[in-house]
Amino acid sequence: MYRRRLWMFLLGFGAVAGITSGILSLRHGYGCGCGGGWNRRAAFESRVADVCVQAAERVHAGKGAQSVAPIQ
């Protein structure tokens, strides 16, 4: 009887702790709580914007896809 209650308590506590941890990690940027996820996302968006601008400049200059630089 006591074992069953102990297991029920531990499983319930684990579920609540896991859900709380997931919500907090989403709120604070997917990581250590320092906003690292948002910084990575901003860096990725910046990189995509740079690639799009470079592609538009190549097309505008008439070079097309022949002068594609390797991605670093």
Position 55 in a domain: yes
- Decide: 33 and 26 in contact? Cβ < 8 Å: no
Please check whether residue 38 is in contact with residue 29, taking contact to mean a CB–CB distance below 8 angstroms.
yes
Range of the domain at 6: 2-64
In this model, does residue 7 exceed pLDDT 60? yes
- Answer whether residue 72 is part of any domain: no
Sign of the torsion angle spanned by Cα atoms 10, 12, 16, 18: positive
Please state the domain count of the chain. 1
Question: Residue for token digits 């070079």?
Answer: 63
Q: Is 69 within a domain?
A: no
Longest dimension (CA), the chain: 79
Q: pLDDT tens-digit profile of 28-68?
A: 655 554 555 567 778 888 899 999 999 888 888 876 555 55
Q: For the whole model, what pTM was predicted?
A: 0.40
Structure tokens at 34: 């320092």
Condensed to tens digits (0 to 9), the pLDDT of residues 19-39 reads: 998 888 777 655 554 555 567
